[in-house]
Structure 1
């Protein structure tokens, strides 16, 4: 589970919040492709009862320019809805699973698509396992996601994926270096022209292209001015590689400094007056 501050979790001080009446939502873009969203709050934050969380434990540079930490996602009513979703999962995972199964039994979802997380990610093994059980019980519904939880998917999904589940690994996370040429991957580019120049395929026409189109998926960056300035014309994969290289250089320098100091101490002559062994 995400990091939880248990100092504020007594039931008397923090009565259980009202459960969300509806778990899945649909905006205009999703309606056009026959899809619905399940959403958590983005990355790290604090719930109303004082607990802290991190729903994107493998987020890297993406968190610096995350669209779900901007605009309408920050409106109090929207934030409260997303946090209520997370609280339901954290406080009653089995109850949430049954509620999701019940909602997905509605005829309108048959043959449709559920995008798991337009914000947030699979933050724990137990949470991912719950989704996998849901998929296997609702075989008439299709599910897809973007995720940076590469190790978790390698262990829990890839060996035996549900037939109605498709996913794409997205660059910009701390596990980027573990992606291989055989993986379906998505990378955020500065614009459509840079996607074309790289020979990748844009998913801008339909988000389902991320899992149904060619496996090199280009995502044009959101046109948010201060985010574009941070991106500096780079792809997420390039930016993350720069950060990883800088971190490796700093780590190597620290190790070398420690090793050099130890070697210097070993080479120091014995103090005056000491006897040779």
Structure 2
């Protein structure tokens, strides 16, 4: 019987650079229990412009595979970690790259820490990701990634609710309408290789996917980052007009949840 791999080979561009991919569903999904879960807790404007919510990602077999991945991590995270650790130590991954999430994100600290241990177990494999979970990654691996395994690299990706925590003078990625917009903004295009986001210039521009209704929604001049800044400014003005809310008791600090009733 042929071995069933957890990681898949990505599209033609990723295969050309020996990149394997792990994918979760994007944004809010309904679990088998009937409860809703936000797999991208810090998504902002990107949720309305996400390529992974359209096209082939909506095919029933593709969605089922991504949900299976998610449920493996939710129902038995130690088993997921054990299976993935065994897989990435296989010789087919030696000297190769693993992109963690071409959809989805680090939805909890425990899930992120499992991936860090997986990376640490396979020093001959290079792991990388884009993420909008900025504060979570800063807490777990440090703002400069000093507490991450040496073969784990990440790139903050603009368009999320935590964009304000991204140092725009350092490594980050933004999604632009096209290559011309990337060049005008002074960013380096990621088009030659997805790996440029983590191993190339610090300001990386990604051209938007060619999905007509998403391109119309984004417009011809705005990047995910500029759209998020405009949304944040609107929310700031709205909140400034509200009376201050009562503070919770010290022992009842509110916590963000990966679950949503959306």
Rounded to whole Å, the distance in 1 between the matches of 2:219 and 2:169 is 28
Partner of 2:98: 114
Partner of 1:97: 81
Give the structure with higher Rg (CA): 1
The offset of 1:23, in angstroms, is 1.1
Q: In the alignment, which of 217, 230, 233 is matched to residue 242 of structure 1?
A: 230
2:13 is aligned with 1:43:
no
Q: In the alignment, which of 22, 35, 46 is matched to residue 5 of structure 2?
A: 22
The answer to whether the Cα contact below 8 Å between 1:169 and 1:183 also exists between their aligned partners in 2 is no
Q: In the alignment, which of 157, 180, 183 is matched to residue 196 of structure 1?
A: 183
Partner of 1:172: 159
The offset of 1:181, in angstroms, is 3.8
Aligned residues: CA RMSD: 1.5
Rounded to whole Å, the distance in 1 between the matches of 2:19 and 2:168 is 29
Moved over 3 A (4+): none
Q: Unmatched 5+ residue regions in structure 2?
A: 246-262
The offset of 1:21, in angstroms, is 3.7
- Using the size of structure 2 for normalisation, the TM-score is 0.88
The offset of 1:183, in angstroms, is 3.0
The higher relative CO (CA closer than 8 Å, separation ≥ 6) is in 2
Q: Is 178-187 or 100-109 further displaced after alignment?
A: 178-187
The offset of 1:75, in angstroms, is 0.4
Q: In the alignment, which of 144, 164, 175 is matched to residue 128 of structure 2?
A: 144
Partner of 1:81: 65
The structure richer in helix per residue is 1
- Using the size of structure 1 for normalisation, the TM-score is 0.83
